[in-house]
Amino acid sequence: MSEPIVSTPSAALTFDPLKVRDDFPILAQKVHGKDLVYLDSAASTQKPQQVISAIAQAYGKEYANVHRGAYYLSEIATTNYESAREKVRAFINARSLSEIVFTKGATEAINLVAATYGRESLKPGDEVVLTQLEHHSNIVPWQLLRDVSGCVLKIVPVACDGSVSIESFAKVIGPKTKIVSIAHVSNVLGTTLPVNEVVQLAHQFGAKVLVDGCQGIVHREVDVRALDCDFYTFSGHKLYGPTGIGVLWARSELLEAMPPYQGGGDMIETVTFDKSVWAEPPAKFEAGTPPIVEAIGLGVALDYLNGLDRAAVKVHETELLTYAMTRLEDVPGLKLIGTASGKVSVQSFVMEGVHPHDLATVLDRFGVSVRAGHHCAQPLMEAFNITATTRASFALYNIKEDVDELIIALSRARELLL
Ligand code: C6P
């Protein structure tokens, strides 16, 4: 039998970003003849060798479909897939395995909740509360729900520094609120939302709270029991894992009451032409062949993170952010978008007289990868009266030298573009 799929980072428990970089083979390469400076981890993080090797092992030595075959390979694949579920459960401190539903990403997880829990429980006039900083994935599913249920979307505004105060939530959440669906952390501004207070407030009115944890779980430890929310969603590819895998965590009683999202194999107990009987959660929500290797890869990414001193990682990322903000503020004509206290290492900015896309294109010629555009948050752009930003996002493998390269490239870009 092959070695079990586990992961030990090279920088185990004494966090050293320079050592960690050795785990990410992609960072060693050059782009346009320059050393790669990857500052787009909020879009997707790079993968450690441990995850890459685990994926190769899962396909190369241990691959078969899961939950179906009574033979050696299928049993191993099933064990690995289900142990990935246990790793996710432990990572977010969920009560039970049945609360962990694998999806193809956060987008699918939010759509699942809107299309099942939302359709089942909302009546015309009921309110769904969002904030102005939400990603389109946490806006459009609720608009689809509004179109079929007649519910009303209420929007909590964002302040100039990118914060969203609990007082602003208190003005919007009320007796008609049935669902509050908010980002844990903004993908554009890096703002951390006051999730605990929002949950307390929403629960006073009997509303359920969904937390879009796509960015939050990358930079903050998540304990769904301590958060006390009702749904928590995230994507594996932002958490050093593969694409094509995401997680919906929900309280057992909610998953039990919710209708299935899709029909197909694996989500039923029995099928006749008259009637089908659903399997228990989480199988009820995992119709068809699941993303087997992707789930296994995510599990190994979580092993990888567990092998690091995450408190030290947080300190490192915060130091990087502080350094980047200070240096960026000194670049002539550059304005930071999103400066709320307690934010994570994601920094948007605009440069006077330069389109963010042009800026990102020139930065790329200097080896610096950043994202530019509306970042799937057009209502937020509107709130700031801009159409786009350039965004640098920092992960555990970034170092101060990356910030220095960004600043040098920005100065060169200014000379070229103005
Ligand atoms: N944000 C970014 O560059 P998916 O595509 O399902 O993995 O994640 C969607 C999503 C939902 N919520 C938040 C807060 C997000 O940041 C994202 C993805 C990427 O900011 C791609 S647009």
For position 198, what pLDDT does the model report?
99
Nearest residue to 137 via CA among 67, 211, 199 = 211
For position 322, what pLDDT does the model report?
98
- Counting from 1 in the atom list of ligand 1, the atom nearest the Cα of 243 is 7
Query: Which ranges constitute the DSSP H helices of 189-329?
Result: 195-204, 216-219, 224-227, 252-257, 292-306, 310-329
Distance from residue 61's CA to the centre of ligand 1 (Å): 32
Q: pLDDT 10s digit of each residue in the chain, 418 long?
A: 445 455 556 544 568 999 999 999 999 999 999 999 999 999 999 999 999 999 999 999 999 999 988 999 999 999 999 999 999 999 999 999 999 999 999 999 999 999 999 999 999 999 999 999 999 999 999 999 999 999 999 999 999 999 999 999 999 999 999 999 999 999 999 999 999 999 999 999 999 999 999 999 999 999 999 999 999 999 999 999 999 999 999 999 999 999 999 999 999 999 999 999 999 999 999 999 999 999 999 999 999 999 999 999 999 999 999 999 999 999 999 999 999 999 999 999 999 999 999 999 999 999 999 999 999 999 999 999 999 999 999 999 999 999 999 999 999 999 999 9
CATH number of the structural domain 17-45+309-417: 3.90.1150.10
Distance from residue 135's CA to the centre of ligand 1 (Å): 7
Distance from residue 134's CA to the centre of ligand 1 (Å): 10
- Separation CA 194–CA 183 (nearest Å): 10
For position 68, what pLDDT does the model report?
82
Nearest residue to 104 via CA among 269, 267, 289 = 289
C-beta atoms surrounding 77 within 10 Å: 22
For position 17, what pLDDT does the model report?
96
For position 317, what pLDDT does the model report?
98
Catalytic residues: 376
Query: Which residues does a 6 A CB cutoff place in the pocket of ligand 1?
Result: 42-43, 105-107, 135, 137-138, 183, 187, 212, 214-215, 235, 371, 375-376
- Boundaries of CATH 3.90.1150.10 in the chain? 17-45+309-417
pTM reported for the whole predicted model: 0.96
Report the sign of the C-alpha dihedral through residues 340, 227, 51, 102, in that order: negative
Report the sign of the C-alpha dihedral through residues 302, 13, 344, 96, in that order: positive
Pocket test for ligand 1, best of 113, 187, 343 (most atoms within 8 A of CB): 187
Pocket test for ligand 1, best of 131, 135, 184, 195 (most atoms within 8 A of CB): 135
For position 13, what pLDDT does the model report?
52
Nearest residue to 213 via CA among 333, 326, 113 = 113
- Counting from 1 in the atom list of ligand 1, the atom nearest the Cα of 137 is 11
- Counting from 1 in the atom list of ligand 1, the atom nearest the Cα of 106 is 6
- Boundaries of CATH 3.40.640.10 in the chain? 62-306
Architecture of domain 62-306: 3-Layer(aba) Sandwich (3.40)
Ligand 1: residue whose CA is nearest its atom 17 = 214
Distance from residue 43's CA to the centre of ligand 1 (Å): 7
Ligand 1: residue whose CA is nearest its atom 16 = 187
Distance from residue 299's CA to the centre of ligand 1 (Å): 20
Residue 279 DSSP code: P
For position 1, what pLDDT does the model report?
41
